[in-house]
């Protein structure tokens, strides 16, 4: 049967099931009509295929390749890296029977403290769009769909479940929507995932302007739109706004709202049919049997190192690098043996194996000597999972204090100090002028140790360029006074984000967007315009082969780029054709509503607000005992990657519960925490015991799912 025949034969109950997920990572099958279930899994820099069911970011997952994160791959300025990575991830998806990868994430890195910056590409919309499109093309070229996320203005974590991103239309269109627009038009993603937050007072899952007027009618998107996990609110309003699929599903409330809306006529049948049509098209294109051919895990491990080496940024070098191999080295820092190679949260991958810098050095027979005997000191430092994770924003832009003290003491020895950094977002560098070199590995994936050794010893030539500005101090960031502090995120700085702000106002930065050094040197000719194209000649003027990024800047904005690889003395002419600019004059006004009251507690309240009442504190402590128990269990595990991931999972669970709302908890938990329980919790927290008990006992009734009918 074709799509229209299927829709004509489906009952309303079957349609309500089809537009709701089930079992956390699947669409609902309709066995009576032979409609299969589509399987999704987290990405975006590797596959996190859950084993069994459970909350995303916490459950155990199948082994897969942990590639460099988006914040790392963006520094490569090399779309081919993303295309090849996408193809490899898709191969692993096919092996495990996954039909759609949840990624890439292309939200703008608005502020360095955003806990999820590691999962996003850049502060620049063109760079994010080009690289995101390459990953989409790579994944979908192998028959696996993607879900482009998080649409839109999901640029902070502390209040992402209930926050309101308040911005002018000019700011939204000319900066924050640009990566999504580029990818939708150039790469045609299978699905788009709407974000948790509101945009100017309307939740993304119910925002018709965002999901229909812009995404479908202006940009021509013809795929399916799904929620982030737990982002549904009024389900009927969402369908009318252009939201097709609610995830993770198994929520009686949402199906009840659909059935009641159809019954009383407030939800037109054709609106529900349109959503079913979009989902059936997605299923028909991407549901395929698993490919049992074994994955070449070794090749993917090697690819992870290759990409990591191409993306690492040599930020400073006073001629100490590359190392010759003859130096006596003192090696310090916990991240030498326990490399931080990925972020924490729903994108956390169970790696097939991890090659740390310590292992890579051991393979080369390199060992550490005491500081007084060394020629060069290597310090491996960076952000920890406790400081940077999905679910919360960082508290400051500093490295951990113990690391700063270590670097300070080693600089005091008078020896040359090289700092190797790991982390998904900029940090303050108070030691910058005292060290001889800084190599930024970002979050390089499971084989980052190999890449770090190759770069330090000159086996590879650094060619990464920063995809995010590194300010001198957090106080220099335009949104530093208000970012992540309340449920209302006001984008008062407009489009003056990252380099646009620092350049326009002449504010000194530590390292500029696009900065990166090499072990060779390059000469750049002037950009010359020829019709709609611009050309520049780039020459390798040094004695080593290396790569350079030609960057076309027009009117203070990046308008094009290309990475080129050159032998010593070689020249190449780069030709770039910038996309035509949107010259529409959009409104630049802000309408900032008052902050919502904290009390009384409602299902939309931040979970930490329960602590403001006596009974709420009791409920809060009871729920938070769960991640505490998980952490104790993780701490007892043997040292190794499994323990590290278990600890990360416990940290993520604690922080994401703190920032959650009762409603989003219910939307995520499905049958185990139905919406009437969320209402009951709110009533109990407000001291209304009888009302709370009635809520707990008032079950929301819906028909059995088609897969459960006999």
pLDDT tens for 211-226 read 999 999 999 999 999 9
Phi, psi of 661 (to 5 degrees): -115, 160
pLDDT higher than threshold 70 for residue 54:
no
Whether residues 638 and 511 fall in one domain: no
Whether residues 488 and 553 fall in one domain: no
Q: Which residue among 495, 516, 537 closes a domain? A: 516
Whether residues 532 and 656 fall in one domain: no
Of residues 655, 556, 594, the one with CA closest to residue 160: 655
In a domain, 620, yes or no: yes
d(CA 63, CA 565): 34
Mean pLDDT, residues 10-20 taken together: 98
d(CA 529, CA 515): 24
Whether residues 403 and 454 fall in one domain: yes
CATH of the domain at 482: 3.40.50.1700
Whether residues 525 and 493 fall in one domain: no
Mean pLDDT, residues 98-121 taken together: 98
Q: Which residue among 460, 484, 516 closes a domain? A: 516
Whether residues 641 and 564 fall in one domain: no
In a domain, 142, yes or no: no
Whether residues 643 and 657 fall in one domain: yes
In a domain, 406, yes or no: yes
**What is the DSSP-derived secondary structure letter of residue 193?**
E
Of the residues 55, 228, 385, 609, only one is catalytic, namely 228
Q: How high does pLDDT run on average in the chain? A: 96
Whether residues 508 and 538 fall in one domain: no
What is the reported pLDDT for 385? 83
Look up tokens 């502060």; give the residue: 123
Whether residues 461 and 547 fall in one domain: no
Helix (H) or strand (E) holding 528: strand 528-530
In a domain, 220, yes or no: no
Is 334 annotated in the active site?
A: no
Per-residue confidence band for 59, with pLDDT thresholds at 50, 70 and 90 = low
CATH of the domain at 534: 2.60.40.10
What is the reported pLDDT for 244? 98
In a domain, 370, yes or no: yes
Omega cis (within 30) before 248: yes
- Is-contact 417 411, C-beta < 8 A? yes
Whether residues 373 and 359 fall in one domain: yes
In a domain, 153, yes or no: no
d(CA 462, CA 311): 8
pLDDT tens for 222-246 read 999 999 999 999 999 999 999 999 9
Whether residues 570 and 621 fall in one domain: no
d(CA 708, CA 29): 10
Q: Which residue among 468, 493, 516 closes a domain? A: 516
Question: Which residues on neighbouring strands pair with residue 538, listed in sequence order?
Answer: 524, 572
What is the reported pLDDT for 665? 95
What total number of domains does the chain contain?
3
Structure tokens at 595: 């902050």
Per-residue confidence band for 649, with pLDDT thresholds at 50, 70 and 90 = confident
d(CA 354, CA 645): 12
In a domain, 18, yes or no: no
Whether residues 530 and 503 fall in one domain: no
Residue 485 belongs to domain spanning: 308-516
What is the reported pLDDT for 709? 87
Q: Establish how many alpha carbons lie within 13 A of residue 259's alpha carbon, considering only the half-sphere containing its beta carbon.
A: 20
- Global model pTM greater than 0.85: yes
In a domain, 173, yes or no: no
Of residues 585, 576, 349, the one with CA closest to residue 445: 349
Mean pLDDT, residues 470-481 taken together: 97
pLDDT higher than threshold 60 for residue 55:
no
pLDDT tens for 371-421 read 999 999 999 999 998 889 999 999 999 999 999 999 999 999 999 999 999
């Amino acid at each position: 049967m074709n799509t229209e025949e299927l829709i004509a034969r489906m009952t309303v109950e079957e349609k309500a099931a089809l537009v709701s997920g089930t079992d956390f990572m699947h669409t609902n099958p309709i066995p009576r009509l032979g409609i299969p279930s589509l399987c999704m899994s987290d990405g975006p820099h590797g596959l996190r295929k859950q084993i069994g069911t459970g909350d995303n970011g916490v459950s155990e997952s199948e082994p897969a390749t942990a590639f460099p994160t988006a914040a790392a791959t963006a520094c490569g300025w090399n779309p081919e890296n993303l295309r090849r990575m996408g193809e490899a991830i898709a191969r692993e998806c096919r092996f495990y029977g996954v039909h759609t990868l949840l990624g890439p994430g292309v939200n703008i890195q608005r502020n360095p403290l955003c806990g999820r910056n590691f999962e996003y590409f850049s502060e620049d919309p063109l760079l994010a769009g080009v690289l995101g499109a390459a990953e989409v093309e790579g994944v979908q070229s192998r028959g696996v769909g993607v879900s482009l996320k998080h649409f839109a203005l999901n640029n902070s974590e502390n209040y992402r479940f209930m926050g309101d991103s308040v911005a002018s239309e000019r700011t939204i269109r000319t900066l924050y929507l640009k990566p999504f627009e580029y990818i939708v038009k150039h790469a045609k993603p299978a699905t788009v995932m709407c974000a948790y937050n509101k945009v100017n007072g309307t939740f993304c899952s119910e925002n018709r302007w965002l999901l229909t007027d812009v995404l479908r009618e202006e940009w021509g998107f013809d795929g399916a739109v799904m929620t982030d996990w737990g982002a549904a609110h009024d389900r009927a309003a969402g369908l009318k706004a252009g939201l097709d699929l609610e995830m993770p599903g198994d929520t009686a409330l949402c199906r009840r709202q659909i059935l009641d809306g159809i019954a009383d006529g407030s939800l037109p049948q054709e609106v529900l049919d349109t959503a079913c049509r979009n989902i059936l098209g997605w299923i028909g294109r991407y549901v395929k049997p698993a490919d049992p051919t074994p994955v070449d895990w070794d090749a993917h491990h090697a690819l992870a190192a290759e990409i990591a080496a191409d993306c690492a940024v040599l930020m400073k070098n006073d001629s100490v690098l590359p190392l010759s191999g003859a130096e006596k080295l003192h090696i310090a820092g916990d991240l030498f043996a326990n490399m931080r190679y990925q972020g924490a949260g729903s994108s956390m991958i169970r790696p097939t194996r991890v090659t740390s810098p310590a292992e890579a050095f051991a393979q080369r027979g390199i060992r550490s000597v005491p500081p007084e005997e060394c020629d060069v000191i290597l310090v491996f430092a960076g952000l920890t999972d406790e400081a940077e994770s999905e679910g919360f924003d960082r508290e400051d832009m500093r490295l951990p204090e113990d690391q700063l003290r270590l670097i300070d003491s080693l600089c005091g020895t008078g020896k040359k100090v090289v700092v190797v950094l790991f982390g998904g977002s900029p940090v303050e560098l108070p030691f910058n002028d005292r060290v001889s070199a800084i190599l930024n590995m970002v979050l390089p994936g499971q084989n980052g140790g190999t890449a770090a050794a190759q770069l330090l010893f000159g086996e590879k030539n650094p060619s990464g360029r920063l995809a995010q500005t590194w300010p001198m101090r957090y106080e220099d960031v335009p949104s530093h006074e208000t970012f992540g502090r309340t449920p209302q995120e006001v984008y008062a700085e407009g489009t003056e984000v990252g380099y646009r702000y620092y350049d326009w106002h002449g504010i000194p930065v530590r390292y500029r967007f696009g900065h990166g050094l090499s072990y060779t040197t390059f000469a750049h000719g002037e950009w010359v315009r020829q019709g709609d194209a611009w050309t520049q000649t780039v020459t390798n003027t040094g004695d080593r082969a290396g790569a350079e990024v030609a960057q076309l800047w027009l009117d203070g904005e990046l308008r094009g780029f290309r990475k080129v690889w050159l032998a010593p003395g070689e020249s190449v002419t780069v030709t770039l054709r910038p996309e035509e600019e949107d010259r529409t004059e959009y409104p630049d006004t802000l309408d900032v509503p008052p902050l919502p009251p904290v009390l009384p507690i409602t299902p939309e309240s931040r979970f930490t607000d329960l602590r403001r009442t006596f009974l709420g504190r009791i409920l809060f402590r009871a729920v938070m005992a769960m991640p505490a128990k998980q952490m104790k269990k993780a701490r007892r595990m043997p040292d190794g990657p499994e323990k590290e991931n278990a600890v990360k999972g416990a940290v993520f669970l604690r922080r994401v519960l703190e920032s959650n709302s009762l409603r989003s908890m219910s939307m995520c938990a499905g049958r185990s925490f139905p919406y009437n329980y969320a209402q009951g919790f709110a009533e109990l927290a407000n001291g209304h015991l009888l009302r709370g008990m009635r809520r707990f006992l008032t079950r929301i009734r819906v028909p059995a799912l088609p897969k459960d009918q006999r």
